[in-house]
Amino acid sequence: MKRSSLILLAIAVGAGLGIAAVRWTQSPPGGGTGIAVKLPDRFSQSATAGRDLFDANCKLCHGSNGAGTDQGPTLIHKVYEPNHHTDQAFYRAAQLGVRAHHWRFGNMPPVAGATRDDVGLIIRYVREIQRANGIY
């Protein structure tokens, strides 16, 4: 390959990576200032129990109703839709924590004291809010 072709390729790759980096830092879930969240007209009984557990274990970082804060990303975003982050991803995150990978908040520690049943109720709560916001 000619030197000029290599230089053009390097510029194109660099530009593409730069654009991708800007998109991730400018859009949720890394925005962190909270978003407007539409709540369902009615929560299921499981989600109502999950709301109390979410408030006790997750709200400090993920904000009211999962809207995000300057401490943690919103969970009401297509990145966290069930087809991308399955319920199992939420169970693992609560049990093991998560290494920062698409947000600027640092690593998420494990959720101390939350049982698998607790996390299941929290997931139900988050999923019902996601559905109310068009995230399936």
Query: What CATH code is carried by the domain that includes residue 105?
Result: 1.10.760.10
Q: How many independent structural domains does the chain possess?
A: 1
Cβ-proximal residues to 116 (8 Å cutoff; 6+ apart), any chain: 91, 95
Cβ-proximal residues to 132 (8 Å cutoff; 6+ apart), any chain: 38, 39, 40
Is the pLDDT confidence value at 46 over 50? yes
Is the pLDDT confidence value at 31 over 90? no
The pTM for the full model equals 0.77
Q: Give the pLDDT confidence of 87-129 residue by residue, as tens digits.
A: 999 999 999 999 998 788 999 999 999 999 999 999 999 999 9
Distance of CA 61 to the CA centre of its chain: 11
| Residue 94 structural domain | 3-132
